[in-house]
Structure formats: C-alpha cells, structure tokens
Structure 1
Amino acid sequence: MHDTPSRPRFPARIERLTADPASQAWALHGKAIAMQLAGREVCMLSVGDPDFDTPPSIGEAAWRALRAGRTHYPAIAGDTALRGAIAAHHRELSGSDCDPGQVQVFAGAQNALFMLMQALAGEGDEVIIADPYYATYPGVIAACGARMRALDTRDSGWHLTAAGIAAALTPATRVVLLNSPSNPCGVITPAEEVERIVELCRRQQLWLVADEVYGELMFEGGFHSVWRHHAEHDRIVVIGSASKRFAMTGWRLGWCLAPPDLIVRLKALATAGLFGTPPFLQDALAEALTAPPAEAEAMRREYAERARTVLAALDHCPGLQPIVPSAGMFVSIDLSGHALDGTAFAEALLADEAVALMPGIAFGESLRQGLRLSLVAPRPRLAEACAAIRRVASRWATAAAEA
C-alpha cells in the first residue's frame, strides 16, 4: 500500500490570512493590556474603542424590545423598520434615493466588509485600496482568495486618486475599496476626486465599495457620500455602522447599501454565515437613527476638540509631523523626519512612558515610520500623552546626534 501524499492541513487562503505583517503591531497592544493586568496604569490610545458610553436612550430602546419579546429569529436582511430607517438616513445624508430593498444589515461594518469581499472577489482577482489602510482590509481580502493592491498615497494627500487607480489597473482588477473619511488618517477624499473615481469605475466596470463609517464624524461641513452617484454607476456599495457615531462598538451592528442583485447574494451569504442580528438590537438602532440622541452630536464635537488638542500639543515637535484629520477619532503621526521606525518608537513609548499607540505598520508600508493615536481619552490625558511622545522623540533625537 502506498503512502498517501502529504496534504496541507489548511487551505492556502487561510495561511495568507494568518501571515499578517502587522502582527507585531498588534502584539504591542497585547503587551499594553498585559501591563494593565499586572497593575500598571497605561494610557491606552491604541485602538478605536470610544471612551463614551452608548447613549441611554439607545439602551432603553433595547430593553423595551427585550421586554416585548423581540428575541426570536430575525429577518435575515434586517428588520423592516430598521432597513427603512437606514434607507431614510442615507437619503438625507446623500441627497439620493435609497430604498429599504437596497439595505442589508450585518453584525457590524466588519462583518459587512467580509461578506462583501466574499461576494465580489475571488481567487486571482485584485482589490485596490489606499495605503495606509484600515488594519483589517488585508485579512478580508486574503480570506476571499483575492490579492490586495495597496497604493502609496503619501504624495496624493493620503487618499486615493482616479489617476493612481488607473495606473494600477490590470485585467485582474475587480474591486476598488475607498475608505473616506479614512482610518487611520481621518482624511476625506475630495468630492471632485470621488466623482473621477466613480467615472473610472463605471468605464472599467469595477465594483466601488465605499467604507463610510466615519462619514458622520466630520469635524466641519457636510460629507460627500459615494451613494449619491449610485444612479450613475450600478456597481456602487456603501458600508455604514453604528459603532462610532453612537458609541456602539460592542453592539455589532452595521449595514451596506447595494444594488438589488447584490443584496440577493449578500442575503444568501448572511443566511449561511450569520442568520441575522438580534431583533432587540435592531430595534435600538432603528430608534437611534430615527431620533438621534443629543449625545451623538456632543461626541462628534468632542472628537474634533480632542484632535485640535493633539495637533496643538505636537506642534513644532522636530521630526514629528501629525497628519491633520478632517473627521473620525484618530490622529496619525509621521515620524519620517527623524527616520524613526514606528514600531520601535511605540515600544519605547510604552516601556518608558506607559502610553500605548498603534505602530503605523499595522496600517500599511507607507506609515511604517509612523504611529496612530486614538482620541479615546479626555483632553488633559491626551495632552499628557503628547508630552510623553515629545519626550521620547527628544531622547531619540539626542541619541542620534551623539551617535
């Protein structure tokens, strides 16, 4: 009897998923948590989990739904009331028509992103994204077997451009993933650039997936949602979330807007991998969207003030250049003026000052010499963290001058 040939224990796409170059960066966050558990006070600015509680009116709506028995199997695409609330919300936000039948509810925007990549890309396909990028993008692209094409955006204002996308196109290109306002930089793709990207995707018959979860955390002015162009191009998808606007990260509620033929396929994926989200949570989100609590606007204003605090505290720090955000809950810091490695700097900051930031490599090669600071602490605490950043930078500059 012949020996059976060696069979791989796991499929190649899963091995690609686990070979994450940002693992060292996430290991640093784990180290910070371990320090906390050991009793050391650590200023945790590494992840984007709001320090605000979910507004009470949202929690009360969930309790009312629980008491009303809203605990049975849900509608897979999302409850009728919630889909209607999401559609109305995006009609107001984008100024463009949106029908409840164009809405699919998921267990968070991350789940929506994963399901969308499963539906739109596969082995041999390419997905174009900006670098720097949200840290989970490589994983969701690898999980569907596609290849990621990350375009360096340092010379284009830290956002994608139609010209950059056009230069990167290959016959394998299938999806453009646009994150605006962006994580980690908080940069908004200008409206005229969005229009050029939409037109390019229309001509090339590419899917354009717009991750707009920070669109309602603009510091000033309104937001140009890609959804306003969905009548021009029938391969536009928009991802939304309750997590940051309403401080509902743990509730795991998100959604996407998509053309009806894609909704049919997303519903099939949701049936296979999710089977809907809890009805009592959906009711709470519908309430939040229909009657937004005052706390949501207060949080938006506070993030803007916190960003200004950080930018002022790091102003004129030699070798450090904050990337000025226009939205969101992060400030990224470019260390290239010092030729510093972001991971080494973050490790020194944690060890010497007990301040945890995320090394930039977690978000792509273009931010290797950088950091991301999460605006998830009161302004005085953020000012203290920035003073610690300046101290570490000063020590490194002195050591480099003496070398």
Structure 2
Amino acid sequence: MRYASITERLADLGSGKWSLHIRARQLKASGADIIELTIGEPDLPPDRALLDECQRAMNAGRYRYSNGRGEPTVVAAVAEKYRRRRADVTNENVLCFPGTQTALFAVILGLAEAGDAVLVGDPLYATYEGVIRSTGAHPVLVPLKPEFGFHMQAEDLEKAITPESRVLLLNTPHNPTGAVLTAEEIAAIGEVARRHDLWIVCDEVYEELVFDAVFASPFDNPDFAERTIVVSSISKSHAAPGFRSGWAVGPVEFTERLLPVSETMLFGTQPFIADMTAYALTHDIDTARRMRLSYKSRAAQIVAGLAAAPGIEVFAPEAGMFILIDVSGTGLDGDAFAWALLEEEGVAVMPGSSFGDEAQNYLRVSLTVPDGAIDEACRRISALAERASLRKERCA
C-alpha cells in the first residue's frame, strides 16, 4: 500500500526519542526501584479550584461543540494576559488549541512548506524537528553554546540564514537547557529576523517558571509585533499538562489566515476545559510560584550533589523544570551513560541525543521529584560516574 511522504519524514521522530522513558515505565510497572527523572510532568497537582471549575462547567452542560477560535471566555482571558505585556492585543490576535504542541504544529504548518528552512537553536526540544519536517520544510540548527549559557547569539543566527529561511523557532525559557534570553539578546535576534524578513515563533511555555532572571520576549517589542507569534499553555504554569489547553497569539492577519487551518484540524476545544483555563488566567493561583521555588532549590541540590562526581559538569538552569549535565568527562556520551544509569542504578533520565546534535554528551534531568529522591539520584549518578571514570583511566 502507498503512504503519504509525511510518514517517511517523521518515521524516526516520534516516540523513539522517548524509548528510555518508555523502558523505565515498563521496569517500574514490573516492580523495579526506578527514580524517574525523564519527562516534564509537574509533581504538584493542579489547584483544587481549577478542578472544581472544570467539574462545575461539565455539570452545567459545557460539553457541546465549541468554535474554531476558542470559547469567548478563554479567548478574552488570553488576550488580557498578553495585553498586560503589549497594549494593542485584542481577541482577534488569539487562537486556542489543545496544548502548546498542537498550537506549534498548526502555526508552523501555516508559515512553512516544502523547500523552506526553519531556524532553531540546538539543543532543541525533542518534538521541534518533527513539527518542522511535517510541513515539508527542513530545520537549520543554530548552535547554542555552553560558554554563552546556551543563549542564542545573534551572529550565530545570522551565519545560519540561507535564502530558504522563513521562520525562526525560538524557545525562551529554553528546554532542555533552562536558558532565559535577555531583552538585549532578543533585540539583537529580532533585528536579524527583521533584516531577513523572518517570522519569529516563540515557545514561552515556561514563562512563569523563571528563577532569578528577567523574562523577555520578542512579542513585547513593538518593532517585532508584525512578525512574532507566541505559543503557550497552562500545562506548566498551572501543573495541568493532561488537560491540553494552549493558544497562539500573533498578528490579526496571521490568526485570520490560520483560523481555517485550525478549524480543519480541530474545530474547537472542550468548553469545560476552556472555562477552567479562563479561570486559571483570571485568578491569583500560586502553583507556578510554588513550582518555581521548588525547582530552583532542587537544581541547586543537584549542583551540590554532583559537585564531587568525576567527569561530570552540571549547568544550573535559569528557569524551568530540568537541569543539563555533561557526562563526556566520564568517557561515555549521553546515550551510553543514560542507558547504563537505568540498567545499573535504576535512574531514568533523558539522553541528550533526544535534544539535538549539540546535546550528544548531555543528560537532561527532571526536577519534578521529591528532594529525597533527588539526593538518592545524585548518589547513584555519582556511583556510575566513578565506575565509568575508572574504566576510562584504565583504558588511557
């Protein structure tokens, strides 16, 4: 039988990137003692008020068809959130989707096609390459260098641009590195995008999980308003990943042109979840603050816990729920170390290869487990690092 070419383009870009996580879940289900530090699933539940609002809406009959743009209450709430950042935002700038991933897929589908290039930082979130290739476009990787704290540099972006470049996919705060771009860095990057007439698509799902840095966005700069689209959701900010509630905010012309694409894909989201999202965005809920404090503390805990581990270098994040660890000094790359860590020590982390060429020597470690489990994970990581480093010395 014949298949569309998209199935070939995405053949190696699906769940294979999460094979270690899947194996860890299997081991855990069989009774193995596994410390799971793989995916970005908040360890706090959603605030009780959100669950109550969702249930209230369902009991009130809010389970019928919605519309393509989104329920009026949540569209208005999203518009108000971004109007606090830029005064000209209206409801017409907003489209609602089931989560950031769907929003990102639809947005890139509306901006790029076969023969186009989409620029993206490397390391990059695991699904970005698939989102880009699904359109027929191809990714062009801009190296994010550890000596710059994994912050994209405007000159590196400029070097990567080709005549096929159409879109810059930006992610700040960044997954997997936790880097937060400064306003000055964004201004320089935005100027490069303006000179080369690039769209800027900015994934800001970790906006409310910034530790001590100051969050900045190209969306907030009027000079880049005509070319910037933000995607985000309540998955991280309100510890509600399973509810799949997100949005895209961009120029009115863009949302009008993308709306038929969205309607063809989805024709609306669940009204009861929209009501919960509107409540989340219009009430003072402290979930993000609590997670922010917890993740910052756990990141510091890992830095301290691995300080004496041979061959290990830890990069403290500026935001988010992950920390990046370079294991190349042990003589192993990220893949080999991660699988050995699971099989020998019962700790599941994400190998850096899931996040691009520049992350081959890294592990991405989630901060979403209790402090005691963090301490035990550090002990087990250190034990493997010591064994690997001894083997490296013997072979030298």
Into which bin does the TM-score normalised by the smaller protein fall? over 0.9
Rounded Cα–Cα distance in structure 1 between residues aligned with 2:223 and 2:113: 26
| Counterpart position of 1:153 | 144
Rounded Cα–Cα distance in structure 1 between residues aligned with 2:19 and 2:206: 26
1:140 and 2:131 aligned: yes
Cα distance per residue 1:110-157 (max 9 Å; x no partner): 000000111000000000000000000010011000000112212543
| Counterpart position of 1:234 | 226
Does the CA contact (< 8 Å) of 1:127 and 1:173 recur in 2?
Answer: yes
Rounded Cα–Cα distance in structure 1 between residues aligned with 2:232 and 2:158: 26
Equivalent residue in structure 2 for 1:124, among 97, 112, 115: 115
Identity of aligned residues (%): 39
1:201 and 2:193 aligned: yes
Unaligned runs of 5+ in 1: 1-7
Rounded Cα–Cα distance in structure 1 between residues aligned with 2:90 and 2:222: 12
1:112 and 2:100 aligned: no
Does the CA contact (< 8 Å) of 2:322 and 2:365 recur in 1?
Answer: yes
Equivalent AA in structure 2 for residue 144 of structure 1: T
Cα distance per residue 1:186-207 (max 9 Å; x no partner): 0112211100111111121110
Say if 1:187 and 1:137 are closer, same or farther in 2 by CA, change over 3 A: same
Once the two structures are superposed, the pairs formed by residues 69-88 of structure 1 within 5 Å of their partners are: 69-88=61-80
1:183 and 2:175 aligned: yes
| Counterpart position of 2:303 | 311
| Counterpart position of 1:4 | none
1:376 and 2:374 aligned: no
Cα distance per residue 1:260-289 (max 9 Å; x no partner): 111012211111111111011000011111
| Counterpart position of 1:18 | 11
Say if 1:233 and 1:281 are closer, same or farther in 2 by CA, change over 3 A: closer
Cα distance per residue 1:209-233 (max 9 Å; x no partner): 1111101101125311221124544
Equivalent AA in structure 2 for residue 374 of structure 1: S
1:260 and 2:249 aligned: no
Cα distance per residue 1:324-372 (max 9 Å; x no partner): 1010000011123334211111111111111100000000011111100
Does the CA contact (< 8 Å) of 2:219 and 2:225 recur in 1?
Answer: no
Rounded Cα–Cα distance in structure 2 between residues aligned with 1:171 and 1:296: 41
Q: Which moved more, 1:177-186 or 1:69-78?
A: 69-78
Secondary structure of 1:18 counterpart = coil
Does the CA contact (< 8 Å) of 2:17 and 2:126 recur in 1?
Answer: no
Q: Which moved more, 1:116-125 or 1:292-301?
A: 292-301
Rounded Cα–Cα distance in structure 1 between residues aligned with 2:62 and 2:24: 39
- TM-score of the pair, normalised by structure 1: 0.94
Does the CA contact (< 8 Å) of 1:70 and 1:280 recur in 2?
Answer: yes
Rounded Cα–Cα distance in structure 2 between residues aligned with 1:231 and 1:193: 14
Q: Which moved more, 1:146-155 or 1:94-103?
A: 94-103
Rounded Cα–Cα distance in structure 1 between residues aligned with 2:303 and 2:212: 16
| Counterpart position of 1:244 | 236
Does the CA contact (< 8 Å) of 2:182 and 2:215 recur in 1?
Answer: no
Unaligned runs of 5+ in 2: none
Rounded Cα–Cα distance in structure 2 between residues aligned with 1:63 and 1:167: 52
Count of aligned pairs: 394
Rounded Cα–Cα distance in structure 2 between residues aligned with 1:271 and 1:24: 30
| Counterpart position of 1:99 | 90
Secondary structure of 1:105 counterpart = strand
1:282 and 2:281 aligned: no
Does the CA contact (< 8 Å) of 1:23 and 1:362 recur in 2?
Answer: no
Does the CA contact (< 8 Å) of 2:350 and 2:364 recur in 1?
Answer: yes
| Counterpart position of 1:326 | 318
Equivalent AA in structure 2 for residue 298 of structure 1: R
Secondary structure of 1:128 counterpart = strand
Secondary structure of 2:297 counterpart = helix
Say if 1:82 and 1:23 are closer, same or farther in 2 by CA, change over 3 A: closer
Q: Which moved more, 1:115-124 or 1:46-55?
A: 46-55
Rounded Cα–Cα distance in structure 2 between residues aligned with 1:358 and 1:96: 40
Does the CA contact (< 8 Å) of 1:303 and 1:328 recur in 2?
Answer: yes
Equivalent AA in structure 1 for residue 226 of structure 2: D
| Counterpart position of 2:392 | 400
Equivalent AA in structure 1 for residue 103 of structure 2: A
Say if 1:230 and 1:254 are closer, same or farther in 2 by CA, change over 3 A: farther
Cα distance per residue 1:68-93 (max 9 Å; x no partner): 1111111211111111111211233x
Does the CA contact (< 8 Å) of 1:14 and 1:142 recur in 2?
Answer: no
